[in-house]
Amino acid sequence: MNDQLTFTDRESYLTWKAAWKEVYFELSATIRKTKQEFKEAQQAYSRSDKPEYYGEVYKVMEKLRYNLSNMKEMARQAIELRHESRILAGELRNEAKVPA
């Protein structure tokens, strides 16, 4: 999937939509996995009784938090792109219905 809405007919739209779904579902699964990893890191941090362990776990948590934030932004952008694609597909559909 690319970030450009280049489809010009129904078939190319459906191909683009299938590629978008694949990318979005993969991103969604990665977000869920990262959330679980972050939760586990938080639990390890709170259970640890060794102060020297705190720094290591905290670094992991910060990296996961940063990655999660970036992935969520990517997902938001993908949803916005999908919304725009629906609008464009509707316009193409309406143009195809109007007799020339």
Query: Closest by alpha carbon to 93, among 34, 23, 13, 6?
Result: 13
Give how far Cα 91 sits from Cα of 20, 64, 96, 98, Å: 19, 41, 9, 11
Mean pLDDT over the full length of the chain: 88
The answer to whether position 62 is within a domain reads yes
The model's confidence at residue 53, banded by pLDDT at 50, 70 and 90, is confident
**52 falls within a domain:** yes
Mean pLDDT of 67-78: 96
pLDDT higher than 80, residue 98: no
What's the structural domain count of the chain? 1
What pLDDT score does 49 carry? 75
Residue 50 has pLDDT above 90, yes or no: no
Segments forming the whole domain that contains residue 81: 23-97
- H or E stretch at 18: helix 10-47
Domain contains 63 = yes
Would 35 be classed as within a structural domain? yes
Tokens of 19: 């590629």
Residue 46 in any domain: the answer is: yes
> Residue 5 domain-assigned?
no
- Residue 15 belongs to a domain: no
